[in-house]
Amino acid sequence: MVRSEGPQSLYKGIIPSLLRSALYGGLRLGLYEPCKGVLDWATDSSNIFTKIAAGALSGAIATATTNPMEVLKVRMQVSRNRIDGKMMKEIQNMISSEGLGGLWRGVGPSMARASALTASQLATYDESKQIIKRWMNVKEGFWLHLSASFAAGVVGTTATAPVDTVKTRLMIQRQTSNDLYRNAFDCTYKICKSEGLHGLYKGWSAMFARLGPQTTITFLVYEQLRQLVGISAL
């Protein structure tokens, strides 16, 4: 990429990526406890399944809201044309050729991924904290948060890699009569048929290289912000 497109190619889609991150990150973490509260009230219980369901729900809502920015980011990243790589130009091209629905292309797999990611991250983080405190006698603080968030990053990446692969394949596919994949299930079936089950985990290390540090930083900052405003640790 650097040789053929220059160093700036590594930052293609940075603007929609930042816009999405600000909204998506805030929504999925901010909605978690309200969702958990509603589910606690509805089911009259607060177990691990309630936490998983709350994480899945908050992740799905956040993704449905920010999907246009995700599609735009992916399209800009795969564009080799400098002009087409501009954000407003990409938006115009997408709407003119695919309609407004093009902005929500792949929203199903995206919501599934976000649900799996948020549920696996939050449940793993919460359970890891309890295990580490019980087995290693580590008190609430930086090292506990760091260890638990690393575990959440590993589990989150593994849980979402298949959905992420399907979502990306659908997003970069243009709306034509000769689409290779009809929907998410068709895409999953064709990947497994032609590449094997491991095809769904292509690029796991690259995914973890991004999601691992992101998860760690997210939970470390999140816990510090909760402490600053007088809210107990997650």
CB 57 within 8 A of CB 115: yes
pLDDT averaged over the chain? 84
77-83 own/partner pairs: CB under 8 Å, 24+ apart? 77/12, 77/13, 78/172, 79/12, 80/5
User: What's the rounded mean pLDDT across residues 174-180?
Assistant: 59
The band of 57, judged by pLDDT with boundaries at 50, 70 and 90, is very high
* DSSP for 134-169, written as a single string: HHH-PPSSHHHHHHHHHHHHHHHHHHHHHHHHHHHH
State what percent of residues in the chain have pLDDT above 70.
94
CA atoms of 65 and 160, how far apart (whole Å): 19
CB 195 within 8 A of CB 202: yes
CA atoms of 118 and 160, how far apart (whole Å): 10
User: What's the rounded mean pLDDT across residues 78-107?
Assistant: 74
Over residues 124-159, the pLDDT tens digits come to 888 888 889 888 888 888 999 999 999 999 998 998
Question: What sign has the CA pseudo-torsion 209, 159, 154, 233?
Answer: positive
Sequence-separated (6 or more) residues with CB below 8 Å from residue 63: 24, 28, 70, 107, 110, 111, 113, 114, 115
- Flag whether pLDDT at 83 surpasses 50: no
pLDDT at 84: 47
Quick check: pTM over 0.75? no
Over residues 188-197, the pLDDT tens digits come to 898 998 898 8
pLDDT at 111: 87
pLDDT at 168: 80
pLDDT at 178: 59
Could you give the count of Cα atoms lying within 13 Å of 157 in the half-sphere of its Cβ? 21
Over residues 35-45, the pLDDT tens digits come to 988 988 888 87
